Structure 1
Amino acid sequence: MERTLLLVDDEENITSALVRLLRRDGYCILRANSGDAGLELLRQNEVGVIISDQRMPGMTGVEFLGKVRDLYPDTVRIVLSGYTELNSVTDAINRGAIYKFFTKPWEDDLLRANVEEAFQRYEMKMENVRLTAELQRANEELLSINHQLEQRVEEKTREVMRNLSILQVSQEVLEHLPVAVIGIGDDGMIAIANMSAHRIFTDVGNKAMVGEAATEVLPAELLACALVGECRKQQGSFPHGPDGKHANYWCCPMGEISHSRGVVIVIDVEP
């Protein structure tokens, strides 16, 4: 960042002396011979530090720097004054219009050191402004991301609730079918069994079929159909019950329209 210094004094010999003193420090130095001219330069340039004489015609240094404080509050403002003007300068310092003041004649090394310090102060302000702006942008982006996430969560929640409702309806339909429906996973365990299946293969009130090995519950006639890898949309019948009735069955492999693996068996006992 280029360091731009504005010198305001109606006496050209004063600004020339300041330029000779301060240009060795590498500053870009602007000069104005009045407060109005100084304000015009400030409109056209980004200035970090201002050194203004106090006693100038039309507008004093304190008045000029007071306007600068209102228009460009981040600038660091220094005033040069005589001993007879200390009261007005002190009041300006108390109001925050002036950072420091030096009396004429000034001490060269002290003035140079304080101008360097003033630029460091200005650059720290600008860095704080930059970091604050970045933080604000980051917060705005975070708020936007959070809002998008909340919307996605709401959409997923609605989707889950819809799927749950569909699942509940499907489960109720399955339970009230007049035929037995049994689903067997590729591990050979029974994953689904409706009420009709329980009525056929277990005593009412006895243990549930779900979670049991198919070989422990189903008759041998069905096991060949139930074996994963051998089921090929087959159908048949097997004797059921002591009265010689037959049960018809249909066996179908899973995975054609879903990612499920295993078989579904539908069984209808003859009346």
Structure 2
Amino acid sequence: MVRTLLLVDDEENITSALVRLLRGDGYRILRANSGEAGLQLLAQNEVGVIISDQRMPGMTGVEFLSKVRDLYPDTVRIVLSGYTELNSVTDAINRGAIYKFFTKPWEDDLLRANVQEAFQRYEMKMENVRLTNELQQANEALLRINRELEQRVEDKTREVMLNLNVLKISQEVLEHLPVGVVGIGDDGVIAVANRSAHRLFAADGSRPMLGEAAVDIIPSELLLCVVGEGCRKLQEKIQLSNRVQANCWCCPMGESSASKGIVLVIEADI
């Protein structure tokens, strides 16, 4: 960061003396011969520290620096004054318009040290502003992310509730079908069996089917349809264990879902 210093004094010999004193410290130094000229330079440049004479025609140093405080509050403002002007300068210090003041003639080393300190103060202010802005931006970004996550959760919850409702409806439809429906996983275990299937294969529903091995419940002739691909109807009717004749269809799963296994549909002659 370039350290820019503004010197404001209507006496050119004063600003020249200050330039000679401070230019070796690496500052970019701007000069103005009045408060109005100083305000114009401030509008065009980012200035960190201002040194202004108190007694100037048209606008005193205190008046100038009071305006600067309102327009550019982060600047560090120093005034040079005579002993006879201390009351007005002290009042300005109390109101926060001025950071420090030096009487004329000034002590070179003390003024240089205080200008250095003033720039450190200004840079600390600007760093705090930068960090505050970054924190605000981070908080705003976090707020946006939270809102997006909340919306996604809401959308996902709505989708889950819709799917759950569809699943309940599908289950109810399945239970009321006049044909038996049995879903068998690729591990050979029964995963789905409706009410009609229980009546056909599980002693009128008294024997549980879910989680049981299909070979222990389903007739072997019916399980032969597992061989082959595509949905197909068995050529001949199957004789169930209760002497009931049935037409049977076999459909492999996975065409429109990630499910694996088969679905058996049994239409019994009752």
TM-score interval, smaller chain = over 0.9
1:38-57 matched pairs, under 5 angstroms? 38-57=38-57
2:179 matches 1:179:
yes
SS in 1 for 2:254: coil
- Aligned-partner Cα distance in 2 for 1:239–1:33: 114
Which residue is 1:200 aligned to?
A: 200
2:221 matches 1:255:
no
1:1-150 matched pairs, under 5 angstroms? 1-150=1-150
Which residue is 1:225 aligned to?
A: 225
Query: Are the equivalent residues in 1 in contact too, given 2:199–2:205 (CA < 8 A)?
Result: no
Q: Give CA deviations for 1:202-239 in whole Å, capped at 9, x if unaligned.
A: 1346342111111222222223334xx55653414322
Letter of the structure 2 residue corresponding to residue 163 of structure 1: N
Letter of the structure 2 residue corresponding to residue 256 of structure 1: E
- Aligned-partner Cα distance in 2 for 1:110–1:230: 99
SS in 1 for 2:77: strand
- Aligned-partner Cα distance in 2 for 1:240–1:55: 116
Give the deviation of 1:115 after TM superposition: 0.5
Q: With structure 2 as the length reference, what TM-score do the two structures score?
A: 0.93
Query: Are the equivalent residues in 2 in contact too, given 1:6–1:32 (CA < 8 A)?
Result: yes
Query: Are the equivalent residues in 1 in contact too, given 2:51–2:80 (CA < 8 A)?
Result: yes
- Aligned-partner Cα distance in 1 for 2:255–2:205: 35
Q: Percent identity?
A: 75
Give the deviation of 1:149 after TM superposition: 2.3
Q: Give CA deviations for 1:169-215 in whole Å, capped at 9, x if unaligned.
A: 11111000011000000011101000001111113463421111112
- Aligned-partner Cα distance in 1 for 2:74–2:240: 95
Unaligned runs of at least 5 residues, structure 2: none
- Aligned-partner Cα distance in 1 for 2:55–2:70: 21
Give the deviation of 1:241 after TM superposition: 4.8
Q: Give CA deviations for 1:60-90 in whole Å, capped at 9, x if unaligned.
A: 1111111110111010000111222222111
Q: C-alpha root-mean-square deviation of aligned residues, in Å?
A: 1.7
Which residue is 1:270 aligned to?
A: 269
1:237-248 matched pairs, under 5 angstroms? 237-242=237-242, 244-248=243-247
Query: Are the equivalent residues in 2 in contact too, given 1:224–1:230 (CA < 8 A)?
Result: no
Query: Are the equivalent residues in 2 in contact too, given 1:8–1:32 (CA < 8 A)?
Result: yes
Letter of the structure 1 residue corresponding to residue 183 of structure 2: G
Query: Are the equivalent residues in 2 in contact too, given 1:79–1:101 (CA < 8 A)?
Result: yes
Over 6 Å off, 4+ runs: none
Q: With structure 1 as the length reference, what TM-score do the two structures score?
A: 0.92
Which residue is 2:213 aligned to?
A: 213
> More deviation in 217-226 or 48-57?
217-226
Query: Are the equivalent residues in 2 in contact too, given 1:225–1:231 (CA < 8 A)?
Result: no
Q: How many residues align?
A: 268
Give the deviation of 1:100 after TM superposition: 0.8
SS in 1 for 2:237: strand
SS in 1 for 2:52: strand
> More deviation in 59-68 or 155-164?
155-164
Which residue is 2:164 aligned to?
A: 164
Letter of the structure 2 residue corresponding to residue 123 of structure 1: E
Unaligned runs of at least 5 residues, structure 1: none
- Aligned-partner Cα distance in 1 for 2:12–2:43: 22
SS in 2 for 1:258: coil
